[in-house]
Amino acid sequence: MTATHSIRIGVLADTHGLFDPAIPKYFRNVSHIIHAGDIGKRSVIEQLEAIAPVTVVSGNVDGYEQSGFPPEAVISVAGRQIAVRHILYEGGKLTKDGRAFLARMRPDICIFGHTHQPKNEWLGETLLFNPGSAGPKRFTLPRMVGIITMGASLSARHITLKDRLP
């Protein structure tokens, strides 16, 4: 891979049935999309699939296996392992199951949702990324999606969605 070529991944979670009309604009040049659970409606995934290939895991409101989507996924993109599950943190702390998941998978990147709180930080060699919630506004938390860029380096950023939809 040359330093001039980078791969962009669109990341979202906690849509709770809402497909924000701004998502296609923000995900326009992504090569893959990851949805980290609490989808709400299958139509959300169908609209994402019209943009790019999608990896999706179910969340607690999806009924996990009843949704037809797995509770965890691991994919390889640009030579990096990306692990996805809905719950990694709860109450501001890494859960016991989340810690075991990270130890078992040893990913370069772990994408998760559930808390609706954006996170972009390193835990040892693993980038932990929660895109925040792209669904209906909840409490004072911002509505967000994320972009992960992989090339010569790895970077992740959050994009704030408008609170009021058109």
Distance between CA atoms of 55 and 73, rounded to whole angstroms?
8
Distance between CA atoms of 10 and 8, rounded to whole angstroms?
7
The percent helix, strand, coil of the chain (3-state, each to 5) is 15, 35, 45
> pLDDT tens for residues 8-35?
999 999 999 999 999 999 999 999 999 9
Q: Is the pLDDT of residue 130 over 50?
A: yes
User: pLDDT class for 139, splitting at 50, 70, 90?
Assistant: confident
- Residue 3, pLDDT score: 46
Distance between CA atoms of 88 and 114, rounded to whole angstroms?
8
Percent of the chain at pLDDT > 70 equals: 95
Q: Is the pLDDT of residue 148 over 50?
A: yes
- Residue 5, pLDDT score: 80
All domains in the chain, ordered by first residue = 7-160 (3.60.21.10)
Mean pLDDT of the chain: 93
Work out the average pLDDT over 136-150: 92
Structure tokens at 119: 């996170």
Cβ distance 9 to 75 under 8 Å? no
Distance between CA atoms of 145 and 154, rounded to whole angstroms?
17
> pLDDT tens for residues 76-96?
999 999 999 999 999 889 999
Strands 72-77 and 80-85, by their bridges, are: antiparallel
